[in-house]
Structure 1
Amino acid sequence: MQVELFESITRYVANLNLDGDTLRAYTIDLHRFERAIGNVPLDSITRDQLKSYLDNLTSKYGQRVSLATQNRHYASLHRFFEWCLQEKLTEDNPMENLPRRRPNKDIGEVTPGTIIRSLKKDQVEKLLKNAQTTREKLLFTLLYTSGTRISEALDLNIQDIHDGTIHIQHGKGNQPRQAYLAKQTEKLLAQYLEERGNPTSGPVFVTTHGQRLSYARARQLFMEAARNILNPDGTQVTIHQLRHTFCTERAGHIDSFVLQRLAGHNDIRTTLRYAKVNDTVAKEAFGNFDEWQEYKRKTSLGDPRLRPAN
């Protein structure tokens, strides 16, 4: 019995255990592919069709999609066909060994993951200054100081935050985790809740009508506050860069495994992308360790200068 593409995608998506944003991205990518080639039998899809589809992906403005976007589509399709193979809906995975698009260095493309864009201190300050309400300032500050993902922040309920700890119920992969409130974020949270009459339950971030703030609206508010704040290559900064900034500022200053826990990374290799230790950080770390060793040596020798005063 032949299974058609649309039915396969529907069954696959229903079995995914992913957070809202990731699930939405997979669903959009797969249905875009289905619209492009039609609701054909799964076994009729060829490697050449997939290669042609990926090579000719364009944005809504008719421009070729970025390397990162194409690689996301590649991953979505590869994972989908791998699931179909496991479920015996098809006899092979036509995505297997299909080469990925190589970066075109002539137009400035780089392999995704080699550059992590973060914000500078003055850019963060400008963003917070441009925030129109306490709600926006709290949201941006939370992302910047706690390292939470935007989806995690918007899913938060008031009762999820207590004693300086943020209890994230549905992190990436639908896994619970913890993050922590900085003092400035704690003050903004108290101010925001006071403006709302100090509710003790319900969503942290709400609209003027009391509904949970959506990702689309949060992104729009960020873009309004981030007007004229650009990356070095002239592209517009994004709300996700606040989390990147959290990780970048701490990388090299705290243990990578601690940063992995704070950021909620499942794989330490994701965290190590941020750990580009520069000479200043390396010299500082060496000096601190050297001083500590000298302190221990003098203590063990009974140096009178290190004895507590009577």
Structure 2
Amino acid sequence: MDGKLTLTVSRMEGTSNAKCRLWRLRLFVDGKPAKSKRFHGTYGQAKAAGDEFKAAYAETMRLSGYDPDMTFAEYAERWLQRRRDSGSFENQTIKANAAKVDGLCRVMGGLKLSEMKRADVVDALLGIKGGAIGGVELMNSTVRGYHTVLKQIMDEAVRDELILKSPVDNVKPPKSDAREKHALPFDQYTKLIDDLTSMRGDAHAVGILLIALNGLRRSEAVALEWDDDLGDGLAVFDSIENMSGEKKKTKSPSGKRIVPMTAETRKLLDEWKPMQALMLRSRGIEQTPQTPLITNIKGRRMAADTLYRWWRKFGPTMFGVDCTIHELRHTFLTYLAKDGDAFALKRIAGWSKISMADTYVHADDEADRAAMRAFEDRIGR
């Protein structure tokens, strides 16, 4: 511990030390405010309490490795290593955090942690948005990710008692400019299902159909294997990590679910399974219960990004549909919500709470009117 630690004891009431019974104990590190607290008692008691306060804080500084010259980059790397060592975060999350830390360190890594101000944060985020990292201007939604990670780092520094207050506290993240998700009109949705059905011999089309007909996430669709086909349902117990391609648990415990099988999905899988077996056999691969439902041209599990890129290329040109894969999940859940009860919707979607419907289920004025008519019929008015 190299920082100089000093204590002040000041009155908060009374006209003299003898009459005062409320005191403020303040600690300074290298002349800068570090921590403070109130104390009730006599002046002598306040002085003794201040000495204990100072000693305890000095020990905290020693254990936390306080260094007045520690840079943001040095502390950010410590923060990242802690997350790695904790084992509480997915590998994909750690990689995403590392990318954000690398970008932040490029624009503010040399700043002393203890001297960082709000203006430093504002300038850094503006620089990142303007292209200081990759040379191109970034969308607000991307900059929001940097803001989130920077806030997590500086909040940790506050908890470590290396700084008194986070300079990010009064910096709002930029407003999101990501396109609002929407559901396809029903006639366009059903036409898409018909068009994809006509391509059942294509693994990409099968993957998109599984999403559009069952509301799966694409990481869940590519994780499915033939032993997840239960005959009358799909066992959605796993997902595939995008960066590593490794199997992992679903997004949340609620994501582990069995999606009831519709006749359309049953027919899809019954036709696709022998087609896939024939294609795999031509490459010397035997189809087994552990074979992924969606395979690439080499007979291996198709990557979620491959499915994403295929849909991005052919969705507009081949099917005339301008939506993301995730919006196909939105579309399915929107129309499912019109015919099912709220808790069935929650279970099939794999949500942890029903309030997620506010994000995924989109407004339909006619459905709202139909609901009110059904209510009127029920009460006989």
Check whether TM > 0.5.
yes
- Given that 1:12 and 1:80 are in contact with CA atoms closer than 8 Å, whether structure 2 keeps it comes out as no
**TM-score relative to the length of structure 2:** 0.61
Equivalence for 1:226? 315
Q: Does residue 157 in structure 1 map to residue 229 in structure 2?
A: no
In structure 2, how many angstroms separate the alpha carbons of the residues matched to 1:182 and 1:24? 38
Render the CA deviation track for 1:210-260: whole Å, top value 9, x for unaligned: 3221122222221232134778xxxx6322221122223334544444323
1:237 equivalent to 2:286? Answer no
Q: Which runs of structure 2 are paired with 1:35-74 in the superposition (5 Å)?
A: 35-38=106-109, 43=114, 45-56=116-127, 57-58=129-130, 63-74=136-147
Contact 1:19 1:171 in 2 (8 A): no
**Residues 220 and 81 of structure 1, relative CA distance in 2, 3 Å threshold:** same
Structure 1, gaps ≥5 residues long: 104-108, 298-310
Letter in 2 for 1:30: V
Determine if contact 1:251/1:277 at 8 Å carries over to the other structure: no
Alignment of 1:39-188 (within 5 A): 43=114, 45-56=116-127, 57-58=129-130, 63-83=136-156, 85-86=158-159, 92-102=165-175, 115-120=180-185, 121-122=187-188, 125-126=191-192, 128=196, 133-162=201-230, 163-169=232-238, 170-173=249-252, 176-180=255-259, 181-188=261-268
Q: 1:14 to 1:153 in 2, by over 3 A?
A: farther
- What is the alpha-carbon distance in structure 2 between the residues aligned to residue 81 and residue 124 of structure 1? 49
Q: How does 1:148-297 map to 2 (within 5 A)?
A: 148-162=216-230, 163-169=232-238, 170-173=249-252, 176-180=255-259, 181-197=261-277, 198-228=287-317, 237-294=323-380
Q: Which amino acid aligns with 1:141?
A: L
Between Structure 1 and Structure 2, how many residues are aligned? 283
Q: In the alignment, is the contact (CA less than 8 A) between 1:149 and 1:243 conserved in 2?
A: yes
Q: How big is each residue's C-alpha offset from its partner over 1:12-43, in whole Å with a ceiling of 9 and x where there is no partner?
A: 25546456665554443333323443476655
TM-score (norm 1): 0.73
Structure 1 range deviating more: 137-146 or 170-179? 170-179
Secondary structure, aligned partner of 2:221: helix
Structure showing greater relative contact order (alpha-carbon pairs closer than 8 Å, 6 or more residues apart): 1
Distance 1:150 1:269, change over 3 A: same
* Secondary structure class of the residue paired with 1:100: coil
Report whether the alignment pairs 1:8 with 2:79.
yes
CA gap 1:188/1:93 in 2 versus in 1, 3 angstroms: farther
Residues 157, 203 of structure 1: 8 Å contact kept: yes
Q: Give how far 1:207 is off.
A: 1.9
Q: Which has the higher strand share?
A: 2
The amino acid that maps onto 1:265 is: W
Mapped to 2, the partners of 1:203 and 1:36 lie a distance apart of 43
Deviation by residue 1:122-142 (Cα, 9 ceiling, x = unmatched): 267457279684311211011
CA deviations 1:76-103 (Å, max 9, x no partner) are: 3333444555566765433223212247
**8 Å contact kept, 1:20–1:151:** no
User: Are the equivalent residues in 1 in contact too, given 2:225–2:290 (CA < 8 A)?
Assistant: yes
Amino acid at match of 1:218: L
| Structure 2 SS opposite 1:196 | helix
Cα RMSD after superposing both structures:
3.6
Q: Which string of whole-angstrom CA distances, capped at 9 and with x for unpartnered residues, describes residues 148-173 of structure 1?
A: 11112222333233131323232214
Q: Deviations over 1:285-304 (max 9, x none)?
A: 1222333344xx9xxxxxxx
Identity of aligned residues (%): 20
Q: Which runs of 5+ in 2 are unaligned?
A: 1-64, 239-248, 278-286
AA aligned to 1:10 is Q
Deviation at 1:277, TM superposition (A): 4.2
**SS at structure 2 position matched to 1:166:** strand
SS at match of 1:4: helix
- Say which one has the larger Rg: 2
Quote the residue 1:300 is aligned against: none
**Distance in 1 between residues matched to 2:201 and 2:124, nearest whole Å:** 44
Matched residue type, 2:257: Q
